[in-house]
Amino acid sequence: MVVVAPDVSSQSETLLPPRIPRHVAIIMDGNGRWAKARGLPRTEGHRQGTENLRQIIRACVEFGIEILTIYAFSTENWQRPPLEVRLLMNILEMVLDRELRELHDNGVQIRHIGKLDQVAPHLQRKIREACAYTRDNRRLILNVAFNYGGRDEIVHAVQEIVRSGIPADQIDEALLNQYMYTGGLPDPDLIIRTSGELRISNFLLWQAAYAEYYFTPVYWPDFDREQLLQALHEYSRRTRRFGQIDEQLTDEIGE
Ligand code: IPE
Ligand code: IPE
Ligand code: MG
């Protein structure tokens, strides 16, 4: 009698992998191309992208991810046509207005990383209020990188260190870490970029030193729960050595 083994490979991808990253960061890219491919305005891609974000946040909570950092607007995105810039600002405002209560009820703590001073005062206020309102939530930390640039973050950290009068010989990696916008949080374990671009576009330059990268051609509005699960499986198969050799590693290292 021939016994046919069940197809465990496809089944197992629908289950959670054994190692879940604590901190996942996402470069949510490809909204414009998603829209263009459908003969729609770029605006529609951004709108669809925010819809998608909801399910990804929900999936992160479900999968037990502790921190999700999303790249929503870079310091370079100001160079886009003024109308698109305005739209991206409006989108954040709309998301905060519409989603704040649900995010709060789901235990999401919102944090902002980046520079707020170039952002319109009423939006700055909304962002600050959302962070304050959700401050005590513990299920998922959602870092929103908005007007964020990795180089800007490093410059800002150095300025703050100099301003506080810390002597040069007391400056080390741990101190710089504290002065980053993500100060106090662990580095990202996994950085996902959608849309097929193979670059980091000024995202988390300092924190990404030992992150695992996952690049997918899927445009952000199509990157769903299953896609995230695939990325987690890929992450789980990687060996993180942190400069060591395989023989030195235990299961605990880096987790
Ligand atoms: C990502 O999608 C959203 C932001 C950068 C704000 P894009 O708008 O970059 O979409 P593409 O890359 O042009 O397709
Ligand atoms: C990176 O995407 C920034 C965000 C996703 C917010 P971009 O579309 O701006 O990056 P480049 O210009 O292709 O590098
Ligand atoms: Mg892009």
- Cα three-residue angle 99-21-184, rounded to 5 degrees: 75
Residues flanking ion ligand 3, Cβ below 5 Å? 29
Q: Which of 5-14, 159-168, 202-211, 237-246 has the lowest mean pLDDT?
A: 5-14
Active site residue 77: yes
Q: How confident is the model at residue 250 (pLDDT cuts 50, 70, 90)?
A: confident
Strand (E) or helix (H) holding 71: strand 67-74
State which of 26, 27, 29, 215 you would mutate to test the pocket of ligand 1, scoring each by most atoms of that ligand within 8 A of its C-beta.
Answer: 29
- Cα three-residue angle 206-17-9, rounded to 5 degrees: 130
Tell which phi-psi region holds residue 40, choosing left (phi > 0), alpha (psi between -120 and 50) or beta.
beta
Question: Average pLDDT for residues 2-31, to the nearest whole number?
Answer: 79
Tell me the β-bridge partners of 70.
26, 144
Percent of the chain surpassing pLDDT 90: 92
pLDDT for res 86 = 96
Q: How confident is the model at residue 14 (pLDDT cuts 50, 70, 90)?
A: confident
- Which residue segments constitute the domains of the chain, with CATH numbers given? 18-236 (3.40.1180.10)
Contact 57, 72 (CB under 8 A): no
Q: What is the reported pTM?
A: 0.94
Q: What is the mean pLDDT of the chain?
A: 94
State which of 70, 195, 199 you would mutate to test the pocket of ligand 1, scoring each by most atoms of that ligand within 8 A of its C-beta.
Answer: 195
| Cα-to-centroid distance, 32 and ligand 3 (Å) | 7
What are the pLDDT digits (tens) for 168-213?
A: 999 999 999 999 999 999 999 999 999 999 999 999 999 999 999 9
pLDDT for res 13 = 78
Atom 1 of ligand 2, residue of closest alpha carbon: 201
DSSP 115: -
The one catalytic residue among 7, 29, 117, 152: 29
Q: 143: how many CB neighbours lie within 10 A of its CB?
A: 25
| Cα-to-centroid distance, 175 and ligand 2 (Å) | 29
Query: CB neighbours of 14 closer than 8 A, spacing ≥ 6?
Result: 226, 229
DSSP 253: T
Query: Is residue 77 within 6 Å of ligand 2 at its C-beta?
Result: yes
